[in-house]
Amino acid sequence: MLATFLIGIREGLEAALVVGILIAYLGRMDRRDAIPRLWAGIGLAVALALGIGAVLTFGAYSLTFEAQEMIGGLLSLLAVGMVTWMIFWMQNAGRTIRATLEGGLDRALTEGGLWALIAIGFVSVAREGIETTLLLWSMVQSFGDVPSALVGALLGLAAAVVVGWLLSRGAVRLDLRRFFAWTGGFLIIVAGGVLAYAVMDLQEAGVLPGPFTGAAPVDAATGAVAVGWAALPFGWAFDVSGVIAPAGGWAAVLQATVGFMPRMTWLQVTAWALYILVVGLLFLRGVRSGRPSSARNPALVGTGSTASSLTQQGAA
């Protein structure tokens, strides 16, 4: 629940700030008549995200086990790619996001019509919606505890709406740069765990070599798939399921926070370690290069600024 809550509030706040920019700009342009069209596009984006979630949840039961595992693994890889791209996009483009969104609205108001404004609202929110749906679905498949995961996500999204509204009203102060830096780091760890789970799915489907295929090294004494250094590269890296029950609370907490599973293959461990190392170092370099040089932190917002200034100042 904690993992999906943090994902919900992170992704939801991104979407809330984008919506705040668009609505605030239309208000300053004295074009409040266009706001219902914008909301129509946002509603379509939400409906698309929910539809994708429904298809992923209820649409795979007629497939074979191998096909389900292959689809699950590929979708998890897609979720990791989208999350990674969004983290670095927010880090690099956050300073210009306001100008980009307002420029798009200007073009829609002058050159387009009804559908242009609907498209602006749709595109602005659909990206976060699809990304959140894929990531949450992958995590639910990994955890297995559907009710708790969904409750955590819904609570996070609800909290994001409240925080976004309070920020736009100037009722709270929040260092958005620090918020997105910390949650971005957390998402990298979560994405690493989803990547490890995707590798497991693909190994179970036989797409990648592993303990479930003929490529797995076998322990001569027991006849089972080898564990440890002797199992390189396609066996089990470790198996502590006798100490940490795979269905127990500790396993759920560790998997939700750092992507740890009581039993992992060498391919899983390698993919997880490389992802955390490479993406984490690139992210930390971006965080350090994006720190403000002045004594006054421009990311500290919520003192009466409109939502349009919040993202410009804080998303970077």
Tens of pLDDT, residue by residue over 165-200, are 777 666 566 676 777 788 788 889 888 988 998 999
pLDDT range class, residue 94, cuts 50, 70, 90: low
Tell me if 11 sits within 8 A of 132, measured CB to CB: yes
Q: What is the pLDDT of residues 33-89, one digit of tens each?
A: 888 888 898 899 989 988 888 887 776 556 777 888 888 889 889 889 988 988 887
* Residue 310: predicted pLDDT: 41
Non-local CB neighbours of 257 within 8 Å, separated by 6+ positions: 2, 3, 189
Prediction pTM value: 0.76
* Residue 274: predicted pLDDT: 96
- What is the amino acid identity at position 3? A
pLDDT range class, residue 113, cuts 50, 70, 90: low
SS3 of the chain: helix, strand, coil, percent, to 5: 70, 5, 25
Higher pLDDT, 111 or 200: 200
pLDDT at residue 246 tops 50:
yes
* Residue 66: predicted pLDDT: 83
Non-local CB neighbours of 126 within 8 Å, separated by 6+ positions: 44, 45, 48, 49
When the pLDDT of each residue in the chain is averaged and rounded to a whole number, the result is: 79
* Residue 103: predicted pLDDT: 78
pLDDT range class, residue 278, cuts 50, 70, 90: very high
Task: Give 193-243 as a DSSP string.
Answer: HHHHHHHHHHHHTTSS-STTSTTS-B-TTT-SBPBSGGGTTTSEEEE-TTT
Phi-psi region of 30 (alpha: psi -120 to 50; beta: other; left: phi over 0): left
* Residue 266: predicted pLDDT: 95
pLDDT range class, residue 314, cuts 50, 70, 90: very low
Tell me if 6 sits within 8 A of 156, measured CB to CB: yes
* Residue 114: predicted pLDDT: 64
How far is it, in rounded angstroms, from Cα 33 to Cα 284? 43
| 300 strand-pairing partners | 175
| 280 strand-pairing partners | none
**Least confident among 34-38, 90-94, 203-207:** 90-94
* Residue 280: predicted pLDDT: 93
pLDDT at residue 229 tops 90:
yes
- What is the amino acid identity at position 48? L
| 225 strand-pairing partners | 218
Closest CA to 24 of 152, 164, 150: 164
pLDDT at residue 238 tops 90:
yes
Q: What is the pLDDT of residues 139-175, one digit of tens each?
A: 777 666 567 778 888 888 888 888 877 776 665 666 7
Task: Give 112-149 as a DSSP string.
Answer: --HHHHHHHHHHHHHHHHHHHHHHHHHHHHHH--HHHH
* Residue 171: predicted pLDDT: 59
